Amino acid sequence: MSVAIVRPTPESDAELAFEGALRPKTLAEFVGQAKVRAQLQLLLQAATLQNRTPDHILLAGPPGLGKTTLAMIVAQESGRPLRMSSGPAIQHAGDLAAVLSSLVPGEILFIDEIHRMARSAEEMLYLAMEDFRIDIMVGKGAGATSIPLDLAPFTLVGATTRSGLLPNPLRDRFGFTAHLEFYSEAELEQVLVRAAALLDLPIDRAALAEIAGRCRGTPRIANRLLRRVRDYSLVHERHGLEAVHAALSLYDVDELGLDRLDRAVMDIILTRFDGGPVGLNTLAVSVGEEAETIESVVEPFLVRIGLLTRTPRGRVATRAAWKHFGLSSASSSASVGLFGDDL
């Protein structure tokens, strides 16, 4: 029987509007990532003093940590217009040429998931980033010629969950790379206090602290869980910690913040492979997810909280993982009991 894994994604209009409403607009409002904020501040101020476009910026890190938000803040703080695009939307060099040639001077170009851009577009970007120029190929075969086209100076802000996939020549052309880290519980509590105030939600500090401990170190998940708790309070007229416990249990979020996909991965490693090592592709096929999702979304958090290690031979569960799921190697033939009848 296949495993239906539901990882809530911000796809509905309501979820997107909710995210938009809570997005910090300035560096001062942006919670956490103190080092990255200070580095960005310096870079933007120096550009302003010299009256030039800021250096190209690469934002790297797992989903939901604030890459899009920071790109918007860069535009806002430097008083420049922002153009948004994404790697999957740039499947030919021509797609990129169309965007680049229509930029106004000083514009910030944000390319989300930049590692998913077509290779031919990547090569066009090298010249564009370095010299604000592209070569447009006209014609085919022996008669093909390239026509140089000058571009308006711009700042590229690239975001990626997989910086390791970017070719070195592209990575080297960014003047600054920010590595976003998972947030601490105290920082996530701050994110939630801010969100509750913006949404006018009457919710006490203990309840917010509980949510902060269960959101995988990720502001997007914090805000989403807050929304589920708000729904629960509205429907059941129960509030505070009681509502948090009930709502998060309903949505299968455990006390470490692990969701069904995290648990599916751990279940496979612990109970099918006696703790590992398990290769990434085997893992992906076993849980019915793409290897990229396992690698960039699930594993970074499991590694961070010490349940999983990545070794050259594959993924291995740690002693803490056995303990968390109440298993020992000898008892591993029993499932961690997280799937019901799904597996």
Q: What residues line the site for ligand ATP (CB under 6 A)?
A: 19, 22-24, 30-32, 63-69, 112, 159, 161, 191, 219-220, 223
Report the residue number, 30 or 273, with the smaller CB distance to ligand ATP: 30
Helix residue spans in the chain (DSSP H): 13-22, 34-49, 67-78, 93-101, 119-131, 168-172, 185-198, 205-212, 219-236, 240-250, 260-267, 280-287, 291-293, 299-304, 319-324
| C-beta separation of 334 from 325 below 8 A | no
Report the residue number, 66 or 257, with the smaller CB distance to ligand ATP: 66
- Chain centre to alpha carbon of residue 49: 32
Say how many Å lie between the first and final Cα of the chain, rounded: 6
- The Cα 245–Cα 154 span in angstroms is 48
Residue 318 counted as an annotated binding residue: no
| Cβ 169 to ligand ATP shortest distance, Å | 23
**DSSP string for residues in 115-138:** GGS-HHHHHHHHHHHHHSEEEEEE
Residue 216 counted as an annotated binding residue: no
288: left (phi over 0), alpha (psi -120 to 50) or beta: left
| Cβ 208 to ligand ATP shortest distance, Å | 13
Residue 80 counted as an annotated binding residue: no
Sign of the dihedral defined by the CA atoms of residues 123, 125, 128, 133, in that order: positive
Helix residue spans in 138-204 (DSSP H): 168-172, 185-198
Report the residue number, 68 or 271, with the smaller CB distance to ligand ATP: 68
Residue 315 counted as an annotated binding residue: yes
Residue 67 counted as an annotated binding residue: yes
Amino acid residing at 135: D
Residue 183 counted as an annotated binding residue: yes
Pairing status of strand 145-150 against strand 133-138: antiparallel
| Cβ 146 to ligand ATP shortest distance, Å | 34
| Cβ 35 to ligand ATP shortest distance, Å | 13
Residue 16 counted as an annotated binding residue: no
Among 53, 80, 112, 228, the one annotated catalytic: 112
| Cβ 326 to ligand ATP shortest distance, Å | 32
Residue 64 counted as an annotated binding residue: yes
Report the residue number, 188 or 268, with the smaller CB distance to ligand ATP: 188
Examine the residue annotation and report whether 252 is marked as an active-site residue of this protein. no
Examine the residue annotation and report whether 25 is marked as an active-site residue of this protein. no
Among 68, 155, 177, 218, the one annotated catalytic: 68
| C-beta separation of 198 from 98 below 8 A | no
| Cβ 133 to ligand ATP shortest distance, Å | 29
Examine the residue annotation and report whether 272 is marked as an active-site residue of this protein. no
Pairing status of strand 133-138 against strand 108-112: unpaired
Among 80, 220, 224, 230, the one annotated catalytic: 220
Among 67, 214, 216, 224, the one annotated catalytic: 67
Examine the residue annotation and report whether 68 is marked as an active-site residue of this protein. yes
- The Cα 161–Cα 88 span in angstroms is 14
Report the residue number, 67 or 260, with the smaller CB distance to ligand ATP: 67
Residue 291 burial (CB count, 10 A): 14
Among 53, 155, 160, 161, the one annotated catalytic: 161
Examine the residue annotation and report whether 160 is marked as an active-site residue of this protein. no
Q: What's the chain's length in residues? A: 343
Report the residue number, 158 or 276, with the smaller CB distance to ligand ATP: 158
Active-site residue list: 67-68, 112, 161, 220
Indicate the annotated binding residues: 22-23, 64, 67-69, 130-132, 173, 183, 220, 310, 315
Indicate the annotated binding residues for ATP: 22-23, 64, 67-69, 130-132, 173, 183, 220
